[in-house]
Structure 1
Amino acid sequence: MAEQDTNYNLNPSLQENCKADINKFCKNGKHDKNVLNGTMDCLKAAFKQFKLSDKCEKEMADILREQALDINLNPLLRAVCKTELETICQIDEHENIEECLKKALISKKIPTPMCQMEVANMIEESQADIQVDPPLQQACSLDLIKFCSEVPQGNGRHIRCLKEIIPKKLSSGCRDMLNKRLEMYENAAQHAPPKDLHQLYYQVVASPSKHYFFLVIFMMIGSIFVIGIFCGRVSRRHMLIKNK
């Protein structure tokens, strides 16, 4: 499994289930298809934006879940967070290294910028599918069966389902873990700037300050409109004087 995470050609399941998605999202030359890390970058980005086909989305969720349970299956994270793994989250002292890195990011204990970005991306990936977040899935397993059994997996549906449930109806363990995760999602967005308009829109809508953002945008558009009217009147007046 560790070898599969270093070479795309050694993962036939990923090739079979994500062939069309790889050709669609990873053919722009920015990613090396022969290296799984390169292919995974574009697939992860598409996974976070809910753009993958159902088969590929499930395959990616399985891979990311395995990486969440065993950091040895995530060579990119081990490379960019080498310092943090040696100082903050030693493998022999923490049962879940990924969880340790998430907490370290939120508490601003990660000094390496690349590690900050990768952990933030990891948090966003877990927001896209609860299967990718084993601690949250375990804490809310009974609640998912009770309230969200008819909700399909993927596209962040299970997490949205839990958020829509009245907090008092959720078990205490699930409620506490879900609140921590919602706070974590907001903090992670500060370290993972949007790569396109879709991500920008998603972050603005998900932000607790979205009303402020919309107010600023409305004021900017209004200012442009007023300036346009003023300039139009000045131009018209200038033309009338010139014609006279």
Structure 2
Amino acid sequence: MTEPCKHQLKVAYLQQEQVEFDDKEHMADADPKFAEKCAREIRQFKCDQADSFEDTVECLRLNYENLGPECKSMVFYREKIEAADNTMDDELQRKCKYDIGKFCPGQNGEHVLDCLTNTKIVRLLQKECKAVVQERMRESARDIRLRPGLLLACKTEAETYCMDELKKLKMPQYAQKVLEGAVVGCLREKYRESAHNRIDLSAQCQAEITKAIVEAEFDPQLDPPLYHACQDTIRLHCSAAIIQHSGGFDTVLDCLKADFHKGAISDPDCNKQTFSQIARRVEETMIDIHLDPPLLEACSMDMQRLCRDVVPGHSRTRRVEETMIDIHLDPPLLEACSMDMQRLCRDVVPGHSRIIMCLMEASGSTNAQMSSSCRNMLADRNKLWMKAHQVIQLFFSRQYQMAWPESWHEAYSMVATHPNKVSILGWLSGIVFFILLVGCCCGRLSKRTHMELKNR
């Protein structure tokens, strides 16, 4: 597309966005098709009280989960346009004008959201701007097409390792349908596998995946499966997404981890998703301490002082499956240990749990001077890892425990539904055939006394 054409499209799009509704009866004229597909939702969520077309769209975006299929497709279409070029997101540009000038003066306007979503910046944004940015982050977590930076950086990896998920992007039935994080979830799985040298990811792709992982630590809605399963638990136990205090922070994920450790989560789906999230985070954070921000901050001083001479290399131990690949993936841990990390593990190259292992060794040493916040955070993480390890063992012991069938019907059903039923039937047939073969070749083995008496 030529620049003049692109410019004209942008002008027309923004003019539509900025239409003000002096006459509410003619608000549908801004985009008749959009108004038709979303008429019910506009009335239901009182979006018809908005002062402009962009405010109406924003109202629907905030209630995306409760929209009908046709209205979702219309909203998703606009989301894709604004994700590809942030200058066409008038709501973002208008409410974040001050913060863009303050924090992202040199950023390309088309990708200014990449700067605003930085976890160090997003907490400092003004209230209105922060609300818009957080909503855009939640939208991008639903579909990789709303995260063009990640899609571009990991295009080769997605084509190689996530072909089935990537094919959906080109299918007509998914053109206006959200994929609920399928491609991103696949890439995160491959990122964890890269810690074991099973696959190789480019530096650009790793950076984008790392950013997505860290962002999800601050807002549970950026992990759709976890959020959908734990909405009630979050409202009951963890009402605030981020509880800020004294320059530190706790996250909803930490709240869920604590409830999981205490066995306080009664919802089975939430319990399962929390365990899965912990498992993923343990393995992800093992790549490097920098993916666990709270641990990094709590232990930065101790790390620089006690782990200065640690030889870079793969991690020597694994926790459960999610929080040790890299400390940056666990923001509470990174923040708690950042000073200790700078002091005790200054020369440790981030990656493959080297910094975390440095801090763990320092915390177990009587000679190491480590801050109490970092030491306590490491102790809490260790308890959580042990709890998850117990759950893993219990899960697999139950999964592979087999009860004996009590009837022929149960025996038939057990074999028919077994994933290796062909092998089982093959073995059973082989055994029967072997018995028949032995009988034919060797004859009967029982005594012939009765037959001999009869012949007399």
Name the TM-score, length of structure 2 as normaliser. 0.40
**2:286 matched to 1:163?**
no
2:235 counterpart (122, 126, 145): 145
Q: Name the structure 1 match of 2:160.
A: 87
Q: Displacement, 1:111? A: 2.1
The C-alpha deviation readout for 1:84-122, integer Å capped at 9, x for no partner, is: 111111213795111111111011134211101110111
Q: Name the structure 2 match of 1:124.
A: 214
What is the DSSP-based 3-state SS (H/G/I as helix, E as strand, rest coil) of the residue aligned with 1:169?
coil
Q: Name the structure 2 match of 1:24.
A: 102
Q: Name the structure 1 match of 2:276.
A: 177
How many residue pairs get aligned? The number is: 211
> Which is further off, 3-12 or 153-162?
153-162
Percent identity of equivalent pairs: 26
Q: Name the structure 2 match of 1:61.
A: 134
Q: Name the structure 2 match of 1:205.
A: 336
Q: Name the structure 2 match of 1:102.
A: 188
Name the TM-score, length of structure 1 as normaliser. 0.71
Higher relative contact order (CA closer than 8 Å, sequence separation 6+): 1
> Which is further off, 104-113 or 171-180?
171-180
Contact 1:80–1:115 (CA under 8 A) maintained in structure 2: yes
Contact 1:61–1:131 (CA under 8 A) maintained in structure 2: no
Give 1:148's aligned amino acid. C
Contact 1:47–1:128 (CA under 8 A) maintained in structure 2: no
Q: Displacement, 1:135? A: 1.7
1:57–1:200 Cα change, 3 Å: farther
Q: Displacement, 1:76? A: 1.0
Give the gaps of 5 or more residues in structure 1. 220-244
1:55–1:180 Cα change, 3 Å: farther
Give 1:64's aligned amino acid. M
Contact 2:122–2:130 (CA under 8 A) maintained in structure 1: no
CA RMSD for the aligned pairs? Answer: 3.4
Give 1:205's aligned amino acid. A
1:10–1:87 Cα change, 3 Å: same
Q: Displacement, 1:43? A: 1.1
Q: Displacement, 1:189? A: 4.5
1:42 counterpart (115, 118, 124): 115
Q: Displacement, 1:162? A: 1.6
CA distance in 1, matches of 2:157, 2:120: 26
Q: Displacement, 1:153? A: 5.3
Contact 2:229–2:273 (CA under 8 A) maintained in structure 1: yes
Q: Which has the larger radius of gyration?
A: 2
